[in-house]
Amino acid sequence: MASSTAFDLLVIGGGSGGVSCADRAASRGARVAVIEEGRLGGTCVNVGCIPKKIMYNTSYLAEAVEYAREYGFNIKQEGRPSLDYAALKKKRDAYITWLNGAYEDSLREEKIALIRGRGRFTGPRTVEVNGIEYTGERIVIAVGGLPSPVNIPGGELAINSDDFFALDKLPAKVAVVGAGYIAVELAGVLNGLGSETHLFIRYDSALRKFDTIIQEHAMDELEQNGVTVHRHSIVSRLSKEPTGTIAVHVGSQSAPLSGFDHVLYAIGRVPNTHALGLDTCGVQVDAAGYIRTDEFEKTNVDRIFAIGDVNGKIELTPVAVAAGRRLADRLYGGPGFRDSHLDYTNVPTVVFNHPPIGTVGITEDEARAKASAEHPVKVYSTAFPNMFYSMCEREHKPQTAMKIVCLGKDERVVGVHMIGRACDEIIQGFAVAVKMGARKADLDSCVAIHPTAAEEMVTMR
């Protein structure tokens, strides 16, 4: 229990955003407490970015063995090697536990009080935890989000993206419901590790918020890799079969698809605001439950702020971290940080798809909606088989596809979209270029690095 109940800053939520904000505020002299009922690190560390990337790496290694065979390595076992899933899970979970401890160590080093329990507002400056009321001159809400509930008959039979990381064994046959990046990533992981994987999507394509070049190539690669995609499929209910497996009923179709060991729902996330007692302090939320904030992360109530997934701006861990640090700088960094806040434009993101996706800026369709005679759109694109696959004799060789979207007569680069081997690493540097206002001529003036996939970005004409 904290030795004091009064602080300069109370942070509700010990995820990446909350801890980053708390650390920065404490380093600038504030008396800070973090309230957290679960494991430190939030979604990213425990059931998101980190364990997901480990699973992605694992499935990538399984794929790499096949390529190694085609490069001439003497691998006697046919197909992909067997996986000791229990051993993998044990090592992965141990790493996550270590990260939880590292987060706690960082709080201790900055002399930040860690208050264990669920926080609930009792007023605009007070939060109750386990029957004790704590006071904060300022309060930051950083409670993140939760997987969207499955509101169909039989929905209790489904698992969500959080539950995926608790699985003790790899399912032989699995259904993934959803069309966003989480659904696509997990479908790719499961398929790559050997599960018979079915992806159910409402429309013709997954990743519909991404540029068309991403959608087209991602869908093609999903199916080429062996994922069965059920388009225009709205799951109406789930039912238990006599064998213990699950049947998936689509729309009004009379015959369900059967034999699934698990049905994994990845249909988005909702803000974790339901138990905060926001009504007692007057903080406003929108119809979906997200806390409304301005460019400085301020809510409608003075001295109460909200950062990260809970305000629904851009639900990415680095965004929460950056927003939290800039907020702490503005609050406790002195006059030089008076206007410190996060610029939410041109935030890069990746999808750990097979192959990976990188993107920054606006899509071609969004650019065309902004275009005019004075600000024309010019698009450059390319698609090619990566040289890595030149030694492979298979019929299908994964392609790399890239698009540069330019707006204006000076061809300012407003969007970069790519899918292919290493695109998750390539995109970061080009995101800096977009952020700095690069023109197509700037890319053209750069000497290419050969032979790489990235050189296409400076040789496209």
* 206 carries a ligand binding annotation: no
Catalytic residue among 230, 232, 341, 450: 450
**How buried is 382 (Cβ within 10 angstroms: 0-12 exposed, 13-18 middle, 19+ buried)?**
middle
* 183 carries a ligand binding annotation: yes
Say if residues 246 and 260 touch (Cβ distance below 8 Å).
yes
Say if residues 192 and 398 touch (Cβ distance below 8 Å).
no
Say if residues 127 and 9 touch (Cβ distance below 8 Å).
no
CA-CA distance, 328 to 223, in Å (whole number)? 46
117: helix, coil or strand? coil
CA-CA distance, 461 to 444, in Å (whole number)? 9
Residues near 165 by beta carbon (within 8 Å), at least 6 away in sequence: 46, 47, 51, 92
* 53 carries a ligand binding annotation: yes
- In the DSSP assignment, the letter for residue 353 is -
Identify whether 450 is a catalytic site residue. Answer: yes
* 287 carries a ligand binding annotation: no
* 67 carries a ligand binding annotation: no
CA-CA distance, 49 to 55, in Å (whole number)? 10
* 180 carries a ligand binding annotation: yes
Q: What are phi and psi of 312, to 5 degrees?
A: 70, 15
* 188 carries a ligand binding annotation: no
* 358 carries a ligand binding annotation: no
Say if residues 59 and 132 touch (Cβ distance below 8 Å).
no
* 182 carries a ligand binding annotation: yes
* 18 carries a ligand binding annotation: no
CA-CA distance, 425 to 428, in Å (whole number)? 6
Residues near 454 by beta carbon (within 8 Å), at least 6 away in sequence: 422, 426
* 268 carries a ligand binding annotation: yes
* 240 carries a ligand binding annotation: no
CA-CA distance, 458 to 406, in Å (whole number)? 14
CA-CA distance, 404 to 46, in Å (whole number)? 35
Say if residues 129 and 47 touch (Cβ distance below 8 Å).
no
236: helix, coil or strand? strand
CA-CA distance, 176 to 263, in Å (whole number)? 6
Q: Which residues are annotated as a binding site?
A: 53, 119, 178-185, 268, 309
Q: Which residues are annotated as a binding site for FAD?
A: 53, 119, 309
Q: Which residues are annotated as a binding site for NAD(+)?
A: 178-185, 268
Catalytic residue positions, numbered: 450
